[in-house]
Chains A and B, each alone.
Chain A
Amino acid sequence: MTDVSINHFTYEYPKSEVKVLNDVTITFKHNHFSLLTGPSGSGKSTLLYFIAGLYPHFIGNDALGSIKFGEVDVKQIPRNQISHSVAMMFQNPNQQFAMDTVIHELTFVLENMLVDPSKMDEIINHALAFCGIEKLRSRVINTLSGGEKQRVALACIVAMDPPVIVLDEPFASIDPDSRLDLIKKLKLLQQEHGKTIILADHDLNDYQGVIDEFYYLDPDSHQINLLAAPAAQHFFDQFKTTQTINKQVEIPAKGTPSVIDINDFKLQPHHSLLLALGKFKFYQGKTTLITGANGIGKSTLFNALTKLLPYEGTIEYSGKNIQKIRPLSYAKNVTLLFQDAENQFLNITVKEELDLSLKNRTNQAYTNDDVASMLKQLNIEGREDQVVYSLSEGQKKKLQIIEMLIMNPPVLLLDEPFKGLDYHSLEVVVGFLNRAKSQFHQTQIIISHQLSGLDPLIDYHAHFADQNLTYQEVIK
Chain B
Amino acid sequence: MNPGLKLLLVMAIALEISFTQSLIVNVILIIASFGYILIHRISFKALLGLILWPFFPALGLFVSQWLYGTAGIHFAWILFTRIYAYVFLGATFTLTSSITDLALTLEQDFRLPSKFAYGVLAAFNLMPKINEEVKIIKTSALMRGEALHFWSPKLYFKAILSSIQWSQNLAEAMTSHGFVEDQKRTHYRVIRITGLDWSWFIGLFAIVQGLLFFIRY
| A-to-B contact residues, CB < 8 Å | 49, 52, 54, 57-58, 79-80, 83, 87-88, 90, 92, 94-100, 104-105, 107-117, 120, 141-142, 156, 160, 306-308, 327-328, 330-332, 335-336, 338, 342-344, 346, 356-357, 359-361, 389, 403-404, 407, 409
Contact = CB atoms under 8 A, between A and B. Distances in A.
Contacts of B145: 328, 332, 356, 359-361, 407
Given A117-B186, A328-B147, A346-B154, A108 B169 contact: no
Interface in B163-204: 166, 168-180, 183-190
B177 A58 contact: no
**Main secondary structure on chain B at its contact with chain A?**
helix
Contacts of B171: 58
B216 interface: no
Contacts of A88: 176
Contacts, number: 145
Given A99-B100, A308-B135, A108 B125 contact: no
B184 to A, nearest CB: 7
A98 B179 contact: yes
Given A142-B129, A356-B144, A407-B144, A111 B169 contact: no
The winner among A92, A99, A114, A338 for most chain B CB atoms within 10 A is: A99
Interface residues of B, number: 45
Contacts of B161: 342, 389
Interface of B: 99-100, 118, 121-122, 125, 128-129, 135-137, 139-147, 154, 158, 161, 166, 168-180, 183-190
Contacts of B188: 107, 110-111, 117, 120
B179 A87 contact: no
A331 B178 contact: no
Contacts of B169: 90, 92, 95-96
A94 B129 contact: yes
B99 to A, nearest CB: 8
Nearest to A407: B144
A28 to B, nearest CB: 18
B173 A96 contact: yes
A58 B172 contact: yes
B81 to A, nearest CB: 35
